[in-house]
Amino acid sequence: MESLLTIVITIFCGVSVYILGEIAHEIWLKPLEQYKQIKSEISYSLVYYANLYSNTIDLADDQEMAIKSHKHASDEFRILAAKLHGFVETLFWLKPLIPPKEKLLDASHELMGLSNSFFCAYNTHETHEQNRENHQSADRIRELLNMTHRI
């Protein structure tokens, strides 16, 4: 009788540990992996496209190649903003090592703003101020997502 009770307790404990492990994986580890992936993509894009968001262009100048590359980079930042925003919607209340939802949403909004800032107002050529604001946005994104490296 005692050995049967020991077997039942062992099976119950094993199943409980497995279930708790799966819950921890779904609630914490999987979102942490997703966050690290999105953060990596954002960090890469902030470095790779810095030459473009630091040099906004005026659409009136009709620089077809520059417009095309700026448009592509702008679209990439828009995609990243949407990914980060969507990620926030999947988070549970327990999220160690992931910034608070407010910071993630702020970073998403900054990414969207950066996406919208690759071009200055048509025929104004006011690029210097926009370039400075774009750098501030990039720094703010890095701060919100706890990125360690600045360029």
Digit-coded pLDDT (tens) for 84-102: 999 998 887 767 788 999 9
Range from 6-15, 42-51, 67-76, 120-129 carrying the lowest mean pLDDT: 120-129
pLDDT of residue 6: 84
Whether pLDDT at 47 is above 80: yes
Residue range 61-77: mean pLDDT, rounded: 86
The amino acid sitting at 2 is: E
Indicate the burial class of 43 (C-beta count within 10 angstroms; 0-12, 13-18, 19 or more). middle
pTM above 0.75, yes or no: yes
Place of tokens 């969507």: 86
pLDDT of residue 61: 72
Mark out the alpha helices in 100-148 (DSSP H runs).
Answer: 101-115, 127-144
Measured CA distances, 124 to 8, 36, 66, 71 (Å)? 77, 39, 17, 18
Range from 52-56, 63-67, 72-76, 122-126 carrying the lowest mean pLDDT: 122-126
pLDDT of residue 87: 93
